Amino acid sequence: MFERILFPTDFSVPSMKVLDYIPALQEAGTREVVLVHVIDQKDVTLIASGGQGFLGTVSDQETDTQRRLREEIQHKIIDTRRALEKQGVRVIVRTPVGSPGKEIVAAADAEGASLIVIGSHGRSNIRDRLLGTVSEYVVKNAHQPVLVVKRDTVAGK
């Protein structure tokens, strides 16, 4: 039923909880995972500007910062891909640049995903919101079913 799922991640702990659900999804027919990491356009703009205010505007810093960000993302993608493949699923990786919610919905349509599996909170991890802003956007705008994996909740946190 859910042969191809879309797994968007910002590599935060809540978003990576999706990995715990892969065995159950395989029982429901999942054979392929489209791993999506959206490079937020706002982050690209900040890095391209040299991070004015905290990094300065020297072009060497811009290039070095961009290179370090790209390498960090590549390492996280490789690690996540390996973790998925170790569980026995085929993996396709997509790294679009843009607005995360919009890019996730577009990727799900373009890849023919039968299900989107997303963490409820990412980097912002806002405590007083039911869902994170990206997952909320995806739930409201996706054309596929969306499984939202809740973050761990600990009393008092």
Closest C-alpha to 33, from 86, 101, 106: 86
Q: Could you tell me how far CA 139 lies from the centroid of its own chain?
A: 14
> Is 26 part of a structural domain of the chain?
yes
Asked whether residue 49 is domain-assigned, the answer is no
Q: Which residue has the tokens 């072009």?
A: 59
pTM to 2 decimals? 0.80
Q: Residue 139's domain is classified under what CATH number?
A: 3.40.50.620
Rounded Cα gap, residues 114 and 9, in angstroms: 17
Neighbouring C-beta atoms of residue 38, cutoff 10 Å: 23
The number of domains in the chain is 1
- Examine residue 132 and state whether it is found in any structural domain, yes or no: yes
Q: What is the pLDDT of residues 44-103, one digit of tens each?
A: 655 555 555 555 554 555 567 777 887 899 999 999 999 999 999 999 999 998 899 999
66: in domain: no
Helix (H) or strand (E) holding 49, with range, is none
Rounded CA gap, 91 and 143, in Å? 21
Q: Rounded CA gap, 111 and 127, in Å?
A: 32
State how far the alpha carbon of 45 is from the alpha carbons of 63, 64, 72, 103, 104, in Å.
Answer: 13, 15, 18, 17, 20
For residue 139, tell me if it sits in a domain: yes
pLDDT in tens, 126-135: 444 445 788 9
Range of the structural domain that residue 93 is part of: 4-40+74-149
Question: Do the Cβ atoms of 44 and 96 come closer than 8 Å?
Answer: no
Over residues 98-152, the pLDDT tens digits come to 899 999 999 999 999 999 999 886 555 444 444 578 899 999 999 999 999 987 6
The structure tokens listed for 35 are 């791993």
